[in-house]
Amino acid sequence: MTKVHNFSAGPGILPAEVLQQASEACINFDNLNLSLLEISHRSKNYEAVMNEARATVKELLGLNDGYKVLFLGGGASLQFAMVPYNLLKTGGTAGYVNTGVWASKAIKEAKLIGETKVIASSEDKNFNYIPKGYGIPMSLDYLHITSNNTIFGTQIKRFPVTPVPLVCDMSSDIFSRKVDGNLFGLIYAGAQKNMGPAGATMIAVKEELLGKTGRDMLSMLDYRVHIKGDSMYNTPPVFPIYVSLLTMRWLKKNGGIEWIEKVNQKKAECIYTEIDRNSMFVGTTALEDRSTMNVTFVMHKPELEAEFDKMWKSANISGIRGHRDVGGYRASLYNALPLESVQVLVDVMKEFENKFA
């Protein structure tokens, strides 16, 4: 089978061995002669999956005993509502930093729950940088940030240190670099960009923050209900959670977060160096805020895009067309993407320059 170099922004690339293991589990899971897709989520075999998945998240994020980990459905988009529903007190105020489309959507949902203030934003420059040096009111119930912005190619390099509970959407760079999880009151991440397939969302929350909103809570939106049910208050998305566990096992086997951070830095350096050198391309984000996960760039001569498209497609490259809000190109360098795929793209960029400069 011809190798495809998959730069998709999400659902993103997964390790080949994980896909193989997952496919086998769909036929015969845990030597039960039953498919993972047809066994009870209450069985001991699947409970072991859920328990290991939650424990591995705590291990990879370095979380202390005060945190609870959940795997739920609904995607990160549901968390845009669940976060304020569980943390924004009646009569209180939530703070948000607006760094892109997903942060904007989170702000929209929070405003439906209670008082919400945007304390910093990069919308003035089409989100091509990360705001810095902003003040954080100590009266906030929490401060919400987005660690990595897939559409605009920016990433927070230094997280704010504040006594205000810090909430972070890490959907597109979870487990890609060393992060002290204990800096945050709550972390959430949709699985499909860097951890697993679409359908599962991971939440790690400091339990002491819950139960203080002053409102009666709907059961399905109450983190405490899901904690009490060990993420199985209702039937969980069993397959995406299992594949996420396989991916975390793959990560640990190869050297963990320290290993993958070095790999990701090499990949990012490889393509950013070429963007800066190549006379045909230019990056779209502030240099100090460039994402190691989503590399955005445009052409100096947009009229030549069709020619470049032919070249990268013939090299079996997939998924690098940019989002409509930025245009140009976006190469997503998620954990499972090998360095050799980045080199193939870089070689095409060099060839394109040689042909059309």
Inter-residue contact 198 to 213 (CB < 8 Å):
no
Q: Among candidates 283, 293, 289, which has minimal Cα distance to 336?
A: 293
Can you read off the two tokens belonging to residue 268? 């990012």
Indicate the pLDDT class of residue 76, thresholds 50, 70 and 90.
Answer: very high
What are the pLDDT digits (tens) for 23-43? 999 999 999 999 999 999 999
Q: Quote the percentage of the chain above a pLDDT of 70.
A: 100
Assess whether pLDDT exceeds 90 at residue 94.
Answer: yes
Q: Which of 2-16, 142-156, 207-221, 339-353 has the lowest mean pLDDT?
A: 2-16
pLDDT score, position 3: 84
Q: Among candidates 124, 175, 127, which has minimal Cα distance to 154?
A: 127
Q: Which residue bears the tokens 């983190």? A: 223
pLDDT, average across residues 121-146: 97
Active site residue 193: yes
Inter-residue contact 159 to 178 (CB < 8 Å):
no
Distance CA 127, CA 184 (A): 23
Distance CA 28, CA 22 (A): 10
Q: How far is CA 311 from CA 170, 298, 306, 307, in A?
A: 33, 16, 9, 7
Assess whether pLDDT exceeds 80 at residue 2.
Answer: no
Q: Which domains does the chain have, with CATH numbers?
A: 16-253 (3.40.640.10), 256-356 (3.90.1150.10)
Indicate the pLDDT class of residue 1, thresholds 50, 70 and 90.
Answer: low
Can you read off the two tokens belonging to residue 228? 């009490």
Give the active site residue among 68, 141, 169, 250: 169
Distance CA 320, CA 295 (A): 9
3-state helix, strand, coil in the chain (%, to 5): 45, 15, 40
What are the pLDDT digits (tens) for 198-256? 999 999 999 999 999 999 999 999 999 999 999 999 999 999 999 999 999 999 999 99
Indicate the pLDDT class of residue 96, thresholds 50, 70 and 90.
Answer: very high
pLDDT score, position 53: 98
Assess whether pLDDT exceeds 80 at residue 153.
Answer: yes
The alpha carbons of the chain give a radius of gyration, in whole angstroms, of 21
Assess whether pLDDT exceeds 90 at residue 143.
Answer: yes
Assess whether pLDDT exceeds 70 at residue 16.
Answer: yes
Distance CA 54, CA 68 (A): 8
Can you read off the two tokens belonging to residue 151? 């559409």
Distance CA 320, CA 232 (A): 37
pLDDT, average across residues 74-85: 97
Give the active site residue among 68, 193, 206, 267: 193
What are the pLDDT digits (tens) for 262-316? 999 999 999 999 999 999 999 999 999 999 999 999 999 999 999 999 999 999 9
Active site residue 169: yes
